[in-house]
Amino acid sequence: MFNGIGGPENLSEILTYFLDEFLPEHIDSEFTYPLHLPMLAHKGQLWLKADASVVSESTLKIVSLSNPLLPNSYEWNLDAEAELLNQIASNLSDMRPAFEVGDVVEPTVYQSPNNMLRTFLVAPEKK
């Protein structure tokens, strides 16, 4: 827990201290966040579930990937993509994520376009 005390003129100073000094010293290297990785052949439709540890206030390092041969290792965009996953389930050995263990990413929060309460952290598409 971090408590910053100050007036409105000190907010920038408090946040700078938190991000530059406090956070790096208190990152739990054992804690991981669930992260979803875009699949090369199905960008924006299917994501492979993974785990990542905190590197900084905006970056995560991928520490493990779900088994890409198991259908429950994926998250999908819409119900239509769930059907897509069913169609390709027999060919999961051809699926490849855009990232691998050890990659550092700056994730974003994904919100389903059909306004479902489906949100999760996703790695950006690799360029």
pLDDT digits (tens, 9 = 90+) for 42-58: 767 788 999 999 887 78
Residue 118 has pLDDT above 60, yes or no: no
What percent of the chain has pLDDT above 90?
Answer: 14
> pTM above the 0.75 mark?
no
Mean of pLDDT over the chain: 80
Residue predicted with more confidence, 60 or 113: 60
Is residue 68 a part of any domain in this protein?
yes
Cβ-based neighbours of 8, under 8 Å, separated by 6 or more: none
pLDDT beyond 80 at 84: no
Residue 63 is predicted with a pLDDT of 95
Domain count, the chain: 1
Residue 14 lies in a domain: no
Domain-embedded: residue 63: yes
- Give a yes or no: residue 73 inside a domain: yes
pLDDT of residue 61: 92
Long-range CB contact pairs, 48-57, < 8 A, 24+: 48/73, 48/74, 48/95, 48/97, 49/73, 49/74, 49/75, 50/97, 50/99, 52/105, 52/107, 53/29, 54/27, 54/28, 55/104, 56/23, 56/24, 57/19, 57/23
Mean pLDDT of 69-91: 71
Asked if residue 41 belongs to a domain, the reply is yes
In terms of residue numbers, what domain contains 38? 31-122
Note the pLDDT of residue 23: 77
**Whole-number pLDDT of residue 117:** 53
pLDDT of residue 30: 81
At 104 the pLDDT is 93
On whether residue 18 sits in a domain, the answer given is: no
